[in-house]
Structure 1
C-alpha cells in the first residue's frame, strides 16, 4: 500500500499558499511541492488532497492511504459533506478522483507526524514569489 502525506499552508488567510505531497511505500519515495497562489489555508488543504490524488491516478497507484493533519478535510471526506459551500466543488472533485482508485483511505494524523508534507507546503509558499 502507498502512503500519501498531504498538507496545505498559507502565509496569511488568505495569502500566498502551497501544497505539499509526500509519497512512500513499496520502495517509492516521492516529494512534491506546489505553489498555489493566493487562497485560504483551508483551500490549500483541499488542493493538497487533489494534487495527491492526481499524482496517484497519473502514476497508477490504485491502493492508497492518505494522511492529513487537517480535521476539516478529514471530516469532509468521511461525511462527503461540507458546511461551507465554498469548498463543495473541491470536495466533489476529490470524491470523484477517489472513486478512480481501487482502495482509498484518508486518516487524520497530528501535525507532528506530518512534518515532511508541511515542509514541502511551506517551500511552495516561498516559490509563489519566484
Structure 2
C-alpha cells in the first residue's frame, strides 16, 4: 500500500500559501512541496492531495491518503463532490481543483481517505506542515492563476 500524507497552509486566507506531501511505499519516501503568492488554506489542502496522486507512477496499488482537512476528506468520503459535480460546482469554491481531483482520482481503483487531527504530533503530518509553511513563507512563490483570476474578477464587482 502507498501512503500519501498531505497538508496545506495559508498565511492569511487568502494570502501566500503552500502545500506539503510525503509519500511512502515499501520503505521509500518522497516529499513534494510548492508555494503560491496568493491562495487559500483549502486550495492548498486539496492541491496537496491532487499532486500526490499525480505523482503516482502506478494506478494498480491501494492508496491511503491521510489529511487533516475535513473539507477534503468529508467532501470525498461523504461523496459531496459528486453532487457538486452534477450541479456543475455552482456556488462551490475551488471548482477548478475539484475537477482536477476527479480527473486524476478516476485513474485509481482503490483510494482510501483518512482524516487525522492536525498539529497532534503525527510525524508525517507534522513534516507535511513544515514543508507547506516553508514554501508559503519562501521567496519562490508560484502564481495560482485560477484563484487570482477569480479574486480579481470578484474585486472588480465591488
1:76 is aligned to 2:75: yes
The equivalent of 1:99 in structure 2 is: 106
Q: How does 1:1-130 map to 2 (within 5 A)?
A: 1-56=1-56, 59-60=57-58, 62-81=61-80, 85-111=92-118, 112=120, 113=122, 114-127=125-138, 129-130=139-140
Q: Give the SS at the match of 1:85.
A: coil
Which residues of structure 1 form unaligned runs of 5+? none
Report which stretch shifted further, 98-107 or 12-21: 98-107
Deviation of the 1:25 alpha carbon: 2.5
Q: Give the SS at the match of 2:80.
A: coil
RMSD (Å) for aligned C-alpha atoms: 1.7
Deviation of the 1:124 alpha carbon: 1.1
Which structure carries more strand by proportion?
1
Runs of 4+ in 1 over 4 A off after TM superposition: none
Separation in structure 1 between the aligned mates of residue 135 and residue 63 of structure 2, nearest angstrom? 24
TM-score (ref. length: structure 2): 0.73
Q: Identify if the C-alpha distance between structure 1 residues 50 and 37 changes in structure 2 by more than 3 Å, giving closer, same or farther.
A: farther
Post-superposition Cα deviations, 1:82-101, rounded to whole Å, max 9, x if no partner, equal 57512233223212211212
Deviation of the 1:55 alpha carbon: 0.9
**Contact 1:18/1:124 (<8 A) preserved:** yes
Q: Aligned residues, how many?
A: 127
Deviation of the 1:27 alpha carbon: 1.9
